[in-house]
């Protein structure tokens, strides 16, 4: 059986762009659907106006009117803040976040999520420095 990513960019985008709770906080999906970006507002711990994208191309290219675009991936503080919101699920009790700073990588973190399932432990790994993991 082939390894399949537990979460895809399409799944992430679907969850955040379609979240009524994020919309109720004042988060706005950007009008150009091709950039797959959402402006975050009133998310605890995230500065209002932070733009998060689930598009690798948008992340790498950036947006002309924005100084920084964040990538919707584990280890990105804005994305982790969304995961922390109980209204869109958060982390289940059996999942724990493990993170360490990568020495010499300009403050990038290596982040893993450990979950217990059927008495086996799996390490779901992602890192801001490795956005291709999704």
Distances (CA, A) of 3 to 7, 28, 46, 86: 12, 34, 33, 29
Higher pLDDT, 117 or 3: 3
pLDDT at 117: 54
Distances (CA, A) of 36 to 9, 16, 17, 32, 65: 10, 10, 8, 7, 15
pLDDT at 13: 92
Whole-number Å distance between alpha carbons of 64 and 37: 13
Mean pLDDT of the chain: 77
Pairing of strands 109-117, 69-71: unpaired
Q: Which residues contact 63 (CB under 8 A, 6 or more apart)?
A: 35, 37, 51, 69
* Residue-wise pLDDT tens digits, 44-101: 899 999 999 999 999 999 888 877 899 998 889 999 898 877 545 555 566 666 777 8
Residues in the chain: 134
- Average pLDDT of the residues in 124-132: 38
- What pLDDT band is residue 124 in, cutting at 50, 70 and 90? very low
CA atoms within 13 A on the CB side of 112: 10
- What pLDDT band is residue 27 in, cutting at 50, 70 and 90? very high
Strand partners, 127: 110, 130
Higher pLDDT, 37 or 119: 37
């Amino acid at each position: 059986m082939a390894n399949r990513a537990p979460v895809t960019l399409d799944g992430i985008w679907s969850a955040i762009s379609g979240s009524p709770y994020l919309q109720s906080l004042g988060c706005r999906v950007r009008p150009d659907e091709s950039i797959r970006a959402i402006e975050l507002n009133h998310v605890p711990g995230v500065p209002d106006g932070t733009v998060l994208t689930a598009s690798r191309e948008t992340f790498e290219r950036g947006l002309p009117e924005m100084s920084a675009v964040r990538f919707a991936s584990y280890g990105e503080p804005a994305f982790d803040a969304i995961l922390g919101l109980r209204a869109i699920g958060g982390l289940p009790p059996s999942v724990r976040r493990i993170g360490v700073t990568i020495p010499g990588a300009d403050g990038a973190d290596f982040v893993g999520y450990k979950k217990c399932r059927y008495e086996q432990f799996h390490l779901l790994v992602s890192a801001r420095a490795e956005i291709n993991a999704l």
